[in-house]
Structure 1
Amino acid sequence: MQRNIPLEDVVKNVKTSVAFTEIMFSLQEMKGNVALILEDRRMNTYSISASTERIESEISVTRQQLNHHLEKLQDHFVAELTKAVENSTKQIQSFIMDLTKKQRDIEEWIEDVESIKKNATDKQTFLGMTNLETKLNKTSNDLQSWIDGNHLSQTVVSFHLDTLLHDIINERTKFGKVVVHAMPSKLALKRRMLGQAQMIKVNAKFKSSFEHMTLKLKVKMSTNAFNVSGCCILPNGNLVVSNYDPSYLILIATDGKTGIELSASCKQSLMLHVLIMTLLP
């Protein structure tokens, strides 16, 4: 059976009720939790900024190390190139000196022929020709040996770039890879439940699903409300049903049989939500 209770009796001493005190503590607690979360998010932005500066610094150091290493490789390569060019140049210059001397000898021999032609007797001419012929044969043999010995080969200087450096220049398109991932939060928040302060852990990876839930009817409750605008289950298991017009609340106990009807105007309906915690045990 439902029994009517005057609203004046219900709202009496509401400001000193347990429900009103719980709401005040819960609001203060929620304020503190929001402040903690806000500070945590701000610190996260600061840490992201610090990480960005650290990464840029490490990239800069790596770049300097690469530059220093490449400079060492370049210096070593230039030294090797200089040595190879000097050796080749010395060989060519030595051959040029031999050719220059041979050129002077040939010019002297031509002058000797002209002098023999003008001034030498037949006997002197014969002896001179024999000597010149011997020199010509030796010079001809020297020329042939130079040709056969690759003294006349064209020296060309070039280089082959190391395969790894070639890959860096032509195939490497990134300095590295940026990785952004979310870590589970370790922030501890407070939550009041059933009049007791509790600690909860924020788990960023927590996911809930209703796909495998099975509903089971436990209690049937009846009410004379015909314009229901909402309902809620109190922490103690009791049910509150709100009727829109006319405006009143019906509180039903967990057994579904007993209830209390509270009448109220539209202005008073908001206050009733504050009072529901004090109405039933």
Structure 2
Amino acid sequence: MATNASLCALCDLRHLMTPSTHWSPECEEALCINCNEHHSLSKSSRNHQVIPISEYIDLPSCIANIDLFCTYHNEKYIQYCVKHECTIFYKCIKEHGKCSELILLEELTHEVKSSEDFRDMEQSLKDVIVNINRIREYMKSKIELNANKNKKIIEDVSRLKNQINQHLDKLQEDLMKELDEVEKESCVKIKSNISSFNDKEKEIIRCNTDIENIKKYASDIQAFHGLRDIQKIIAENEKCIQSFVETKKLEKVELEFINNSTIQEFLSNVMKIVHPSTLN
């Protein structure tokens, strides 16, 4: 885009600063109202299509900066080299003498805006925009989908946690009941053994009293028979005590907690409930 597009190029040559109102693409010059009128009447430029300067300013820089004049000969381009994909002036033919396809620029650009290529380009742009919109909407839907999945995963984990807690609570409740029953059963056995030993203790105490009385009051024959009876009682009690110790009944009455190895493995091995990931 020309740096002086806001000023009339012809007036500028006369050292006048006149605001431009139009732009001549073929001359590549900005024109004021008066110069534009002269431009439209001049034989060399009466067929030029001028545009308002505001529209020229709105042109993309990549379009506005396209040169229409040869930088080497300062003449307007008249041909197009297909091989090198560039516009040339006829004096540039020396550089393109071996190029097989040189087309008049006027023929190549005639009604280019209504050509099939131009329509295809416009349709391609529309297709690209449609595809961009589709991809954008798809990605937006993915964001919403991920948010919903995130919410569902949190709900699932919370539900799983509650199920685990409920299951542990049930296990604890069952354990407490079973523990109470085991404790009661154990206490019954212990009390039964205590009662049995109380009876034996009373029997031994009675034997001890009998021995004292025999020593004091019984005859030798009575002492002989009494001693034998007491020895039998003592032997039976000793045998009972020995049997009690050998069968380890004292150890069997203790409560013991045996940890479930499966639960211990779960605590040691399960480090994550889920593994969040993205699919690429």
* Length-normalised TM-score, structure 1: 0.49
More helix by share: 2
Of structures 1 and 2, the larger Rg is shown by: 2
Q: Which has the higher contact order (CA 8 A, sep 6+)?
A: 1
More strand by share: 1
* Length-normalised TM-score, structure 2: 0.49
